[in-house]
Amino acid sequence: MVFTSIRTTFATRKNSVMEQTMFDTLLELPLFQGLGRGDLTRILESTRLEFETLPAGTLLLRQDDVCDEIVFVIGGKVHAETLAADRLWSVDEALNVPTVAGLEVLYGSRRTHRHNVYADTPARILKMDKRTVGALTSYFEVFRLNVLNYLTTLIARRFQLDWLPAPESLEGRLIAFFHAHVSHPAGTKKFHIALRTLGHYLGEDHRYVSRALHRLSDKGLLRMERRTIEIPRFELLLQSMK
C-alpha cells in the first residue's frame, strides 16, 4: 500500500511568526533542547528541514532495514514492534511523543533498525539524514552533547539491566524476562508469545508459567488473552518486584 503525505519545507524564512513556531517545535525535540536562539536561527538558515504528516497505519521504520536517517516524531501516537530473531514472538510498545527513532543504529558496525515503528494516528514527523546529523553534531556543542547523553543513557540502562540479581520466584523471572525485552521500562506493552515459547525461554513447564502469569493478573498487573500478554503500566509491574 502506498501512503501519501502532507509535506512542509522550511528553509530560510524571515517571517517572525513562522520562525517562532519553528523554534518552539525544534526545542521540543530531544536533540535540540538547550540550543539558543542564535544556534536555532543558523540551523534554520543552513539546513533544509522537511516535516511530513503521515496517515494512521504508516510504517515509519522497518526492522532490519539499513539506517541512513533518523526520524523525529513530533505529534500523534506511534508504537514500536520488535520481532524476535526466531520470529516466534514479538513485543509492541507505545512510544512517548516527541521522540527520536534510529539514532542508536545510525553509526557503528550494525546499522539496521531494531524495530518496526507504526503510526497509530496521523503522525507529524521530521526526517534527518546521516549527513545532516553529522554536520549538526560537528558544529553545535549542545546538539553533540544531547546525542551523547541519549546514547550513553541507553548504554547505562542496558549495563545496569545485565547486572541485576537473578529473581528467585517464577513471577520475578517473568518480570525480568519482560524487562530485558523492552526499550523503555514504562508505559503500555504487549507481548505476543505462546505460553510454550515463553516457558522454553525460561526453562519452565508452560503450565507453571501460566499459573504465575495468572497470579500477576489477579494483582491487576497484566491481562492475558490467547498468545498475548498486555501490561498496561510496565512501571507498576517493576515496582511489584521490590
Three-state secondary structure call for residue 66: strand
pLDDT in tens, 25-68: 888 898 999 998 889 888 888 887 778 999 999 999 999 999 99
User: For 213-230, how does the pLDDT look when each residue is reduced to its tens digit (9 = 90+)?
Assistant: 999 999 999 999 999 999
* CATH 1.10.10.10, the chain: domain bounds: 170-239
Q: What is the largest CA-CA distance in the chain?
A: 66
| CA quadruple 43, 49, 54, 57: dihedral sign | negative
The per-residue pLDDT for 164 is 83
pLDDT over 50 (residue 11): no
Q: Which distant-in-sequence residues (6+ apart) come within 8 Å of 160 by Cβ? A: none
Spatial separation of the C-alpha atoms in residues 209 and 241, rounded to whole Å:
17
Nearest in space to 92 (alpha carbons), one of 100, 103, 84? 84
- What number is the average pLDDT over the span 9-38? 70
Cell numbers linked to 101:
527513532
Question: What is the mean predicted confidence (pLDDT) over 8-15?
Answer: 44
- Outline which parts of the chain fall under CATH 2.60.120.10: 6-79+98-160
Name the nearest CA neighbour of 50 among 64, 34, 69: 69
Looking at residue 20, its pLDDT comes to 60
**For 8-12, 19-23, 35-39, 229-233, which range has the lowest pLDDT when averaged over its residues?**
8-12
pLDDT at 6: 39
What's the pTM? 0.85
Q: Which residue has the higher pLDDT, 7 or 70?
A: 70
Give the model confidence (pLDDT) of 154-210 as tens digits: 999 888 888 888 899 999 999 999 999 999 899 999 999 999 999 999 999 999 999
- Using the structure block, give the residue that is written with the C-alpha cell 533542547: 33
* Residues 58, 118 contacting (CB under 8 angstroms): yes
Count CB atoms within 10 A of the CB of residue 39: 18
Full DSSP string of 108-166:
SS--B-SSEEEESS-EEEEEEEHHHHHHHHHH-HHHHHHHHHHHHHHHHHHHHHHTSPP
More confident: 196 or 17: 196
Q: How far apart are CA 114 and CA 70, in angstroms?
A: 13
Can you name the CATH fold of 6-79+98-160? Jelly Rolls (2.60.120)
According to CATH, the topology of domain 170-239 is: Arc Repressor Mutant, subunit A (1.10.10)
Q: Give tens-digit pLDDT for 138-148.
A: 999 999 999 99
Q: What is the pLDDT of residue 79?
A: 96
pLDDT at residue 234 greater than cutoff 60: yes
Over residues 86-106, the pLDDT tens digits come to 999 999 999 999 999 999 999
- The residues near 187 (Cβ < 8 Å, ≥ 6 apart) are 93, 94, 95, 96, 233, 234, 235
Q: Does an H or E element contain 180, and which? A: helix 170-180
| pLDDT value of position 217 | 97
